[in-house]
Amino acid sequence: MAKELTESTIMHTLDWAYEKAVDGVPGFDSASELADDYSARDEDPITQVNSLIRVQNTKAGASGFVTGLGGIVTMPIAIPANITSVIFVQVRMIAAIAHMGGYDLQDDGVKTMVYTCLIANAGTDILKDMGIVVGTKLTTNAIKSISGKTITAINQKVGFRLLTKFGEKGVVNLGKAVPLVGGVIGGTVDAIATDTIGNIARDTFIKNNEKV
């Protein structure tokens, strides 16, 4: 029987994934190490990010990779390892893109921006509702100026959005319509969702923004 999910459980899972992505886990580079590998290539920033996204798409769609990751990392028990593994892959990818854009992964505002990317265009709508427009000039100073109260409110909205997508009956519905992970069939995760999320992250942290 699937365990009932709550916003608290979802946010715990996201915080777990972010911590592992930033700190790294045995056998896997941290988000910053992953970013530095691609940033060292003799390519423009957009091409570097696109290359990173393509590789992460492959990993998210490879059941063997996901299963292997699940065997290495201690997962939050409320969500199946195959799902949590893909969340980790996606959060690490977004965090790596943020690092490539010059953003501080230790900043709570940056972490919140990473979370909003997980829900794609819905995340942009949430930011807009909170008075934050992701456009041509989302600077590091702009992110640092987001208040703790606003960060908490955004995180709550992201958690609620994910909970709605998961379905009130819990993880049994994950394979049907969750943009976060796509369809799960026989242990294979649909990588299209990861590509969409990667594109949103690129537009948020690289393509449309300037650093100061």
Within-domain flag for 212: no
- In the chain, the amino acid numbered 169 is K
Considering only CA atoms, which of 123, 98, 112 is closest in space to residue 145?
Answer: 112
Within-domain flag for 60: yes
Q: What is the pLDDT of residue 9?
A: 81
Q: What is the pLDDT of residue 208?
A: 56
pLDDT tens, position by position, 40-52:
988 898 999 999 9
pLDDT tens, position by position, 147-177:
899 999 999 999 888 777 655 444 434 444 3
Q: What is the pLDDT of residue 1?
A: 35
Q: Is the pLDDT of residue 105 over 70?
A: yes
Within-domain flag for 141: yes
State the Cα–Cα distance between residues 170 and 193, nearest whole angstrom: 20
Identify the band that residue 5 occupies on the pLDDT scale cut at 50, 70 and 90: low
- Per the structure, the complete domain to which residue 161 belongs is given by 7-207
Within-domain flag for 1: no
Instruction: Report the greatest alpha carbon distance in the chain.
Output: 50
> Number of folded domains in the chain?
1
Within-domain flag for 2: no
Are the C-beta atoms of 110 and 36 separated by less than 8 Å? no
